[in-house]
Amino acid sequence: MKQIFSIINTAFILLFLGVSQNALAGSNKLSCAIKSEQQFLGALPEFSHNSDPLVGYQCQLIPHYSGFLGNWLPALPHFYFSQTNRLLASNNSTELATDDDNSQAWRVALSIKRLGQGQLSIFAGKKDWQYVLQAKEAIPFIPSNANDPSDAITINQGQQARLNRKQETVGFSFIFPFQDEKVLTELRLQKSIINQPIQANITPFEKRSLFAATTEIDEIMIISQSFHRGLNINWQFGLGQGKVILKPEESITFDAELDQVISLRGQLELHYQHRFNRRWFGHLGWQGSLHYWQQSADDKDFQLASANNIEQQIFIGFGLTF
């Protein structure tokens, strides 16, 4: 009877996911955790952040990657989702009102084909941050439909402003099954499109003006990642190049290549996993990440503030293998 139930259960999973049985071989992991995180928006040097953490949860499906099973669709999709909020409205008018601060992120990756002992994968993801920041000084905000500097709107010193950062990422990667003697587990090529306001010194607008901006960056990344019993030290490192598009485009002129930026991205994670039995496990850890970019060439009439978007989180949760 136990064997019959196991067969029926496996068949149901195959029907629901629409993948081959090879994708289920090994230790696929489904887990959720509560988390606390801090995030800081870059390219906004004249705004102050609230440093209190956001609290929420994350869930993910981590497939088993094998260099020997399957040809097409050799593994289950990788899926990640996170949602955090800060519900600490302040009664002091000099402090930041934080009841609307929130962050959401998701990522999906699908292995398409096995190539040798590796797998070719495509992926897409999105991060959306919304924060209430406070101006350290009077800052001119340039609307996206402005025709000249007189259309600027002043954000007064101490005034609060709700600002958003949205990052969309697409690309493909070559994934290697984890082996103790090999450090790298993934080589990734991706394109990131980031929409967030940035401060800049642009002639003829006032210095430190705030502009709506879109940043497009092409990146190459190397990754080492594992989720095995005990302590896992995971890291990512990436280099990129791209450009910044300031709005209103028709009102901003500059010399060629002044809108070009270079990018550096890094992430370190300490992930500990404790297995209770063959199916259930607990996990906890810390993760810190930095995405930094700066203008490739500088000019007194077109200076972009450097971006140093920082994020760190701690998490604890449970999961199961199948």
State how far the Cα of 159 lies from the Cα of 182, in Å rounded to an integer: 52
Q: What is the pLDDT of residues 262-317, one digit of tens each?
A: 999 999 999 999 999 999 999 999 999 999 999 999 889 999 999 999 999 999 99
Q: Which class in CATH covers the domain with range 2-321?
A: mainly beta
8 Å CB contact between 302 and 254: yes
Q: Whole-model pTM? A: 0.85
Q: Report which of residues 241 and 9 the model is more confident about.
A: 241
Predicted confidence (pLDDT) at residue 87 exceeds the cutoff of 60: yes
Residue with tokens 């949760």: 317
**Buried-state track 54-81, b at ≥16 Cβ within 10 A, e below 16:** bebebbbbbbbbbbebbeebbbbbbbee
Q: What is the overall mean pLDDT for the chain?
A: 88
